[in-house]
């Protein structure tokens, strides 16, 4: 399962590194960045209804957003939020 993904990603990285100096390619990726930002905002908008029910989840989300401005790696922000959530819900007998 991992090997096909690795092959695809490796092949794409070879093509991307060869095309990164192309002006048209750079403009296309600027457009893709905008599209990704809009998709993320749309996902946040849809999830916000569930966040109003769980104040703890809202606090974790806000803290993760703030920490993202300190140029921490996303992996560590997500891992920290997951660990805090697991510890919080482990003590909650209603969950």
pTM: 0.45
* Residue 19 neighbours by CB under 8 Å, 6+ apart: 25
**Would you state the pLDDT for residue 3?**
76
Quick one: CA dihedral 67, 64, 73, 39, positive or negative? negative
Q: Which helix (H) or strand (E) holds 3?
A: helix 2-19
First to last CA, the chain: 33
Q: Is the dihedral of CA 58, 64, 68, 69 positive or negative?
A: positive
Distance CA(84)–CA(87), nearest Å, equals 5
Q: What is the pLDDT of residue 34?
A: 85
How far is 64 from 79, CA to CA, in rounded Å? 10
Which parts of the chain have pLDDT scores under 50?
95
């Amino acid at each position: 399962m991992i090997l096909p993904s690795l092959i695809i990603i490796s092949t794409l990285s070879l093509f991307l590194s060869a095309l990164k100096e192309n002006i048209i390619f750079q403009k296309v990726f600027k457009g893709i960045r905008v599209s990704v930002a809009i998709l993320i905002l749309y996902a946040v908008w849809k999830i916000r209804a569930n966040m109003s029910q769980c104040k703890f989840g809202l606090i974790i989300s806000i803290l993760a957003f703030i920490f993202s401005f300190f140029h921490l790696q996303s992996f560590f922000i997500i891992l920290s939020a997951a660990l805090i959530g697991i510890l919080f819900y482990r003590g909650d007998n209603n969950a």
